[in-house]
């Protein structure tokens, strides 16, 4: 079964450092997403990406965050100047179209010290 | 009011029991509804979509009441492997496609 793969599985960083989380969506999917889940809290939408641009973003997704699809396979989330409260599990997801079911990756756990 | 509200549980039930979870949502523009399952520190996985007429998938039955903005999940003959957190999820279709709004989840523990 096709999978969404994410790297790294766990990243520890110092406050103020930049982090890049990587995702390889399912190959024929056209829509890409990032969600995050702070420990013990709900899964929250960050951003959706289609046709090489952001199609929607939440209020969480401020100037500290950016996404990019640098080549035909990777989809990255960059967090600049990380804060303690950025510590969370970050899930990448993809779907074939905007109405279809999302497939989530296994997540990247970010710990900011 | 929370966008998607669930009883956090935990629900501790014996194997073989029937258990029901409820969920309410606040946005009447919500168009699609789902139950996801999340195991500890894992990604959410789709359990089933929820249709207005109600739908069943094996031991799992989902119901939707649009007038009351209420969704339910019934698990019959529960198994140890059903132990997980069950997430109520709604989708509002926007130009961005799949923006899902998750509830905080209801934890189920099935015991021998």
Beta strands in B11-111 (DSSP E): 11-14, 19-25, 32-38, 45-50, 55-57, 60-65, 70-75, 84-94, 97-102, 106-111
CA A107 – CA A74 distance, rounded (Å): 15
Q: Are strands B55-57 and B70-75 parallel, antiparallel or unpaired?
A: unpaired
**Res A104: pLDDT:** 96
In chain A, residues with a C-beta closer than 8 Å to the C-beta of B34 are: 101
- Is any Cβ of chain B less than 8 angstroms from the Cβ of A60? no
> Which of B32, B49, B102 is opposite residue A43, by nearest beta carbon?
B102
- Shortest CA gap B31–chain A (Å): 10
Q: Is B99's CB within 8 Å of A56's CB?
A: yes
Calculate the CA dihedral of residues A80, A83, A85, A90 and round it to 10 degrees. 30
Q: Is B102's CB within 8 Å of A42's CB?
A: yes
Residue partners of B96: CB distance under 8 A and separation at least 6: A48, A50, A55, A56, A98
Q: Is A98's CB within 8 Å of B105's CB?
A: no
- Is any Cβ of chain B less than 8 angstroms from the Cβ of A59? no
List, for residues A35-73, the tens digit of each pLDDT value.
Answer: 999 999 999 999 999 989 999 999 999 999 999 998 878
Give the residue from B32, B40, B43, B88 with the most A CB atoms within 10 Å of its CB, the best one to mutate. Answer: B43
- Which chain B residue's Cα is nearest to A105? B43
CA B94 – CA B87 distance, rounded (Å): 21
List, for residues B23-71, the tens digit of each pLDDT value.
Answer: 999 988 888 999 999 999 899 999 999 998 999 999 999 999 999 999 9
**Res A90: pLDDT:** 98
**Res B96: pLDDT:** 59
Question: DSSP state, B77?
Answer: S
- Which chain B residue's Cα is nearest to A42? B104
Grade residue B92 by pLDDT with cuts at 50, 70 and 90: confident
């Amino acid at each position: 079964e096709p999978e969404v793969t994410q790297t790294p599985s766990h990243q520890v960083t110092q406050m103020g450092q930049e982090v890049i989380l990587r995702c390889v969506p399912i190959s024929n999917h056209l829509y890409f997403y990032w969600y995050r889940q702070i420990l013990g809290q709900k899964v929250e939408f960050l951003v959706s990406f289609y046709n090489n641009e952001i199609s929607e973003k939440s209020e969480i997704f401020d100037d500290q965050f950016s996404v990019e699809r640098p080549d035909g396979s990777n989809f990255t989330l960059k967090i600049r100047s990380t804060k303690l409260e950025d510590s969370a599990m970050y899930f990448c997801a993809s779907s074939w179209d905007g109405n279809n079911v999302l497939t989530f990756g296994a997540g990247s756990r970010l710990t900011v010290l | 009011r929370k966008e998607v509200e669930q009883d956090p549980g935990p629900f501790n039930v014996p194997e073989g029991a029937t258990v029901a979870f409820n969920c309410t949502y606040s946005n009447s523009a919500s168009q699609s509804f789902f139950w996801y399952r999340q195991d500890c520190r894992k990604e959410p996985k789709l359990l089933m979509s929820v249709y207005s007429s109600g739908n069943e998938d094996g031991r799992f039955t989902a119901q939707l009441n649009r007038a009351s903005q209420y969704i339910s999940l019934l698990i019959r003959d529960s198994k140890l492997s059903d132990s997980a957190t069950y997430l109520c999820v709604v989708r509002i279709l926007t130009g961005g496609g799949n923006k899902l709004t998750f509830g905080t989840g209801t934890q189920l523990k099935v015991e021998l």
